Amino acid sequence: MAALPDDYWLLSIRQQPEQMTAAEYEALPEDISKMIEIVDGYVVFCESPTREHQKAGLRLVTLIERHARSAMKRGHDCLDANIDVDLRIRDIPLSNRRPDVILYRCIDRGDRLRPEHALLVVEIVSPGSETQDTMDKLAEYAKAGIPHYWIARLDDTGVSLIQLYQIDPATLLYKHTGTVMKAEAGGPPEISVPIPITVDWAALEY
């Protein structure tokens, strides 16, 4: 980590003195910006993910990316998927999230990823993130107009459950449209939106 002044407020227990601006955020060293999210101008520290959490994110993005490529071969517009990247919710007051996994329309190199590009955001619930993932981000991503939101849960072997939400454009609220679980009998579940995805549980194991 880059050396910072002893009184730098990121490392202080004092209250953040004022809202951070987009320019101030963009001036931060990358190793600092990766540690935080910004909500209404105020810093939210992100706990370091566990190895299981990181592996689950990699498994999910690989699965989603594979189906995105299949969708493009069938004529869908260009799609991309990534993990732990900046998603600029808004500039004033600054809100910047780092979704665990995101599926989005292709953008030019150097362009900022914004909600209008996103088709699907996935957050993986970890100890301590339950309220953020199931309430705070659920409301924030919906208000931003992101069409689909998944909440993934883990067991000892990998991703074991995914809760599916789809936005109601009239209210900008998410509606729970279903839950897929590894424990259910039958073949791999099929999810039709935002693109057709077959949930291969074996591919989501650690």
User: Which tens digit of pLDDT belongs to each residue from 138-159?
Assistant: 999 999 999 999 999 999 999 9
Q: What is the pLDDT of residue 8?
A: 52
> Residue 134 contacts by C-beta under 8 Å, 6 or more apart in sequence?
125, 151
- Architecture per CATH, 51-86+97-204: Alpha-Beta Complex (3.90)
Q: What is the pLDDT of residue 2?
A: 47
Kindly report, residue by residue over 109-139, the tens digit of the pLDDT. Answer: 999 999 999 999 999 998 888 999 999 999 9
117 token code pair: 């590009």
| Parallel, antiparallel or unpaired: strands 148-154 and 118-124 | parallel
Strand ranges inside the chain, DSSP E? 36-39, 42-45, 79-82, 87-90, 95-97, 101-105, 118-124, 148-154, 159-168, 173-181, 190-191, 197-198
Q: Is the pLDDT score of 5 beyond 60?
A: no
204 token code pair: 């989501």
pTM: 0.90
pLDDT grade, residue 204 (50/70/90)? very high
